[in-house]
Structure 1
Amino acid sequence: MHPLLAETADLAADFEHVDVWIFDLDNTLYPQELNLMIQMRHRTYDYICDLLDTDHTGAAVLYERFEAVHGTALNGLMIEHGIDPNHFLTYVHDIDHAMLVPDIQLAEAIRSLPGKRVIYTNGTVSHAENVLARLGITDLFHNIFDIVWADLDPKPHRAPYERLFAHMGADPKKAAMFEDVPRNLEIPFTLGAKTVLVKSATVGEAKRGRPSSDVNPGYINHVTHDLARFLSDVVRAHRNKR
């Protein structure tokens, strides 16, 4: 079989049963190279500097430790320093979204996916709404599930994923999840969902289709560096099979 036909067959087989499409937000729906996450990280450093009277170098060290020990900087700051999470989230997500522009191809691809389409982010609803509005895809999602909805329990913890599927009344085995952070795909895969890692195009060109050996193949079904194209291929595979 021709490789392109084989790839199309793989996509049709892997996604023909999917009726719930779960998308991470940052560095997934827009390119990592836009550096919105860098803005948020620097805002977090500023917050830590003001709170603990340190400089950016010290804040960066604390940030990495909070991530390693507590999963997120927010969790670390709450557990070790008792901060107000709402104040932190508002501060950190107060960034410039101006570099985001409407993505017509992405919008068309998402619109063509059958079933429910939702956002699940460790960020906030207000940040998600800003991103979606700039990309021109606000009306394409049925719901936004954020870190506040998850009671501040972040990905990759198992409980919020289970809560997500229960809230939607969805079967994980009929779901697909798209993420830029590999570890955030392990629990969805364990629960039975199809998983797609969205990689930066500048890190090294990721082939559409099966994951290569440098990406954990145990819980990642597909890898792409072009989400809009990948989704378009999925939709095309569906249509060709009918």
Structure 2
Amino acid sequence: MPTPLDHIDCWIFDLDNTLYPPAAALFDLIDDRMGAFIMRLLNIDAIEARRVQKQYFHDHGTTMAGLMRHHGVDPEHFLLDVHDIALDRIGPDDRLRAGLTRLPGRKLIFTNADADYAARVLDARGIADLFDGICDIRATRYIPKPEPDAYAAMVTHLGIDPAKSLFVEDMARNLTPAKALGMTTVWLDNGSESGHRDHLPDHVDYHVNDISDWLDSLPTPWGIS
């Protein structure tokens, strides 16, 4: 049975492919910029650059973490470069906004991206004003999800009680450390690349396919309509 939610006072959301659908293909633009960055850095062709990119993503949680470890890449240089994309593929979503508005307590972001980019995405979706804080890759000292140290940094940075917090993620593997801390977990199984990787059903309290459907399905014992 799903975990009851009447104790939740912090609702924490991943950003990319969670607060907008993977079908928007926004991350394809970031992927392209990552590939071009790696091609320039290592003087390799596009095929080899993509292999390196995805290998580092799978092995280190983010491509950036692998580039930092193996090639001494400046994370700020990388972040500014790969997130320099147009956001015209996404727009406001009234249904998502309404669902988020009904949630009681604080609404927060936990992302492997940087806060500047996250703020741009939230603004493009028309929901920036609903969120009370962002824990980004800088706040975790460039340690990405799913590394446990990133979650420890997030707890401190956002000032949450894990036992009263819920975390929504499109990447199943990123829920395991959250569950270990005592958080309620929601896997948004919406077709994200590698979303099923390292999926452990015991670490997922809610398995959903559409974020707005899930938000609309929640009971509202808090008196919010």
TM over 0.5: yes
SS in 2 for 1:148: coil
How many residue pairs get matched?
219
Q: Does 1:113 align with 2:96?
A: no
Identity over aligned pairs, percent: 36
Q: Does 1:221 align with 2:205?
A: yes
Q: Is the 8 A contact 2:39 2:46 kept in 1?
A: yes
Task: Give the AA of the match of 1:105.
Answer: R
Q: Does 1:96 align with 2:86?
A: yes
Task: Give the AA of the match of 1:115.
Answer: G
Tell me what 1:166 maps to. Answer: 156
Q: Is the 8 A contact 1:21 1:177 kept in 2?
A: yes
Tell me what 1:85 maps to. Answer: 75
Comparing 23-32 and 55-64, the one that deviates more: 55-64
Q: CA deviation at 1:170?
A: 2.1
SS in 2 for 1:218: helix
SS in 2 for 1:22: strand
Q: Does 1:134 align with 2:124?
A: yes
Unaligned runs of 5+ in 2: none
Tell me what 1:150 maps to. Answer: 140
Q: TM-score, normalised by structure 2?
A: 0.91
Alpha-carbon spacing, 1:62–1:107, altered in 2? closer, same or farther (3 Å):
same
Alpha-carbon spacing, 1:202–1:186, altered in 2? closer, same or farther (3 Å):
closer
Q: TM-score, normalised by structure 1?
A: 0.85
Q: CA deviation at 1:129?
A: 1.2
CA distance in 1: counterparts of 2:192 and 2:82, whole angstroms: 26
Task: Give the AA of the match of 1:160.
Answer: A
Tell me what 1:50 maps to. Answer: 40
Structure possessing the higher radius of gyration over alpha carbons:
1
SS in 2 for 1:26: coil
Q: CA deviation at 1:167?
A: 3.1
Q: Does 1:232 align with 2:216?
A: yes
Comparing 62-71 and 28-37, the one that deviates more: 62-71
Alpha-carbon spacing, 1:129–1:84, altered in 2? closer, same or farther (3 Å):
same
CA distance in 1: counterparts of 2:157 and 2:41, whole angstroms: 36
Structure number with the higher helix fraction is 1
Unaligned runs of 5+ in 1: 1-9, 204-213
CA distance in 1: counterparts of 2:106 and 2:151, whole angstroms: 16
Tell me what 1:7 maps to. Answer: none
Q: CA deviation at 1:237?
A: 4.4
Task: Give the AA of the match of 2:189.
Answer: K
Alpha-carbon spacing, 1:61–1:200, altered in 2? closer, same or farther (3 Å):
same
Q: CA deviation at 1:70?
A: 2.8
SS in 1 for 2:44: coil
Q: CA deviation at 1:202?
A: 9.4
RMSD (CA atoms): 2.0
Q: Is the 8 A contact 1:22 1:117 kept in 2?
A: yes
Q: CA deviation at 1:145?
A: 1.1
Task: Give the AA of the match of 2:71.
Answer: H
